[in-house]
């Protein structure tokens, strides 16, 4: 088995815009403004299972969701199946003007590994 075939090897992401069901169920979707001002807070939403429903039960669920801006860590939420939905709404701020980095959301499914979704954001 290659790393690409092993769901727990590395970080998985959609291979193209024509996503498989596995990719739709696991790719985090980031909702945030296209452009923000440095140092001003804004709302960001990260959700998994938005493109296609994913189970949220003891045997199969998302364990955590993280948000990064490039390689800068922003937040991590730990989740419990049934009690917490894999949807995070948070106020964040980015402090340095940039247009080269993306927001990167990571989410870990207990059966299908770590998945990444990205969104371009310009910080003025």
**Residues at the site binding Fe ion, with contacts judged by CB under 5 A:** 109, 111-112
For the bound state, the minimum distance from the C-beta of residue 60 to Fe ion, rounded and expressed in Å, comes to 6
Q: How far is the CB of 7 from Fe ion (least distance, A)?
A: 9
Q: Which is nearer to Fe ion, 36 or 56 (CB)?
A: 56
| CA 87 to each of CA 17, 61, 77, 94, 105: distance values in angstroms, whole numbers, following the listed order | 22, 12, 10, 21, 11
Q: How far is the C-alpha of 45 from the C-alpha of 77, rounded, in Å?
A: 12
User: Least distance to Fe ion from the beta carbon of 109, Å?
Assistant: 3
Least distance (Å) from Fe ion to the CB of residue 62? 8
Sheet containing strand 62-69, strands side by side? 11-12, 113-120, 102-109, 62-69, 72-78
Place of tokens 């959301």: 105
Pick between residue 51 and residue 109 the one whose CB is nearest to Fe ion. Answer: 109
Minimal CB distance to Fe ion: which residue? 109
* Nearer to Fe ion among residue 105 and residue 109 (C-beta): 109
Alpha-helix residue ranges (DSSP H) falling in the chain:
21-26
């Amino acid at each position: 088995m290659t790393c690409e075939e092993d769901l727990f090897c590395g970080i998985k992401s959609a291979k193209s815009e024509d996503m498989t069901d596995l990719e739709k169920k696991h790719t985090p979707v980031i909702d945030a403004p296209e452009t923000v001002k440095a140092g001003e807070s804004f709302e960001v939403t990260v959700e998994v299972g938005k493109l296609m429903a994913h189970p949220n039960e003891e045997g199969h669920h998302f364990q955590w969701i993280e948000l990064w801006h490039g390689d800068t860590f922003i937040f991590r939420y730990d989740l419990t199946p049934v009690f917490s939905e894999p949807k995070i709404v948070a106020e964040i701020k980015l402090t340095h003007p940039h247009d080269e980095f993306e927001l990167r959301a990571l989410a870990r499914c207990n059966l299908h590994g770590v998945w990444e979704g990205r969104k371009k954001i310009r910080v003025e």
